[in-house]
Amino acid sequence: PELATTFLEQPLDNPLMNAAGVWCTLAAQLDALVESSAGAAVTKSCTLSRRDGNPEPRYRALPLGSINSMGLPNEGHVYYLDYAACHDYERKPLFVSVSGLSLDDNLTIVAALREAVLPAFLELNLSCPNVEGKPQPGYDFEAMDQFLAEVATAYRRPFGVKLPPYFDFVHFDNAAEILNRYDNLAFITCINSIGNGLVIDTESESTVIRPKDGFGGLGGDYVLPTALANVNAFHRRCPGKTIIGCGGVSTGEHVFQHLLAGATLVQVGTALHEEGPSIFDRLQKELRELMAKKGYTRIEDFRGRLKTL
C-alpha cells in the first residue's frame, strides 16, 4: 500500500509528522525529524522573545499518556525563522508554529514570516493552556475571531490554526462558523492537549508536575476519542478546509482512525516524546499492514469515509 499524500497541493511521502512542541524546540531536534521518515515537521510554538518556560518538573509520562505544563519554553521567533530559512523544502514540508503572548506579538511574528517569503506553513496556535494568566484564544470566540481577522489580513497567504478540544456541538458550530469566514485559513489542526487535567501520585499523595498546582495539558491514550471527535466535527463543518489530526496517536491503527475521521495529515506528540523519531517507521509499517488487510492501496481509498450506524 502507498502512503504518499498531498497537503495544500504539496506532495508528502506519508501523512505523519510531529505535534508542535514535541522534539522540535532546538535545531538538532528538528534536524532529527527531517532525517526521520516523518512526512513533515513543525517547530515548537514560538513567542517574540526567548522564554525559559515554567519551573520543572513540568512534563510527566504516564501509563495512559502524559501531562505537561511547559509554559511555552522556546528560542524566540527569529531562531525558528532562521531554521525555516535553511530548511530543504524539496525534502519535506516544514510548518512554523506561532503562539505569541498577545495579538500584537502574533502580528509581528506573522509579518516577519511573511517578509521571509518561505514555503513554510504557518500553524497559529490558539490553544496553549499553560501560560499563567493567559486565557487561550481558542476558548474565547470573540478574541479568536479578532486574532484571525487581523492575522488573515496581515499574512494574506494560506495558513492554519491549532485548536483546543471542544466538547459541545454549539462550540463546534460557533468555532467552525468563525473559521469558515477566512478564505486563506486553509487548514485546521485538532486537537491541542486537553487543558488543565490533574494527575495525582497516590504513594506520595502529591501532584506530579510543579506549575499551576499540578494542573496541566493531557495527551496520549486519554485524548484519542476527543481528538477523533474534533477532527470529524470540523471535517463535517468546514468542507473547504484541510484537517490535520493530532491527539492520542501511538499505533498505525490510531493513524488509520484519524484519517477515517477526515484528517489529511496526522501529528504525533506524547508517543513521539517517549519513543523518539523512529516511531514514524513503526507507524508507517503498522498503517501499511492494516491497509493491506483491508484491501486498501492508497489513503484516498478510505480517508474521510467514516461510517455511522
Q: Please say which residue, 213 or 301, places its beta carbon nearer to ligand IRO.
A: 213
At its nearest, how many Å lie between ligand IRO and the CB of residue 147?
Answer: 15
At its nearest, how many Å lie between ligand IRO and the CB of residue 70?
Answer: 3
Contact 277, 30 (CB under 8 A): no
Report how far residue 220's alpha carbon sits from residue 22's, in angstroms, rounded to the nearest whole number: 13
24 in active site: no
Q: How many CB atoms lie within 10 A of CB 28?
A: 8
Report how far residue 253's alpha carbon sits from residue 228's, in angstroms, rounded to the nearest whole number: 12
Where do contacts with ligand IRO occur on this chain (CB under 6 A)? 21, 45, 68-72, 99, 125, 127-128, 130, 192-193, 217
At its nearest, how many Å lie between ligand IRO and the CB of residue 289?
Answer: 31
Q: Please say which residue, 27 or 101, places its beta carbon nearer to ligand IRO.
A: 101
End-to-end CA distance of the chain: 28
Q: Please say which residue, 71 or 252, places its beta carbon nearer to ligand IRO.
A: 71
Report how far residue 201's alpha carbon sits from residue 185's, in angstroms, rounded to the nearest whole number: 42
Q: Please say which residue, 53 or 304, places its beta carbon nearer to ligand IRO.
A: 53
At its nearest, how many Å lie between ligand IRO and the CB of residue 280?
Answer: 21
Contact 154, 114 (CB under 8 A): yes
Residue 135 in grid coordinates = 486565557
Q: Where are the alpha helices (DSSP H) in 76-197?
A: 77-86, 103-116, 141-155, 169-179
Contact 247, 269 (CB under 8 A): yes
Q: Which entry of 128, 190, 238, 246 is annotated as an active-site residue?
A: 128
Query: Which residues are identified as catalytic?
Result: 128
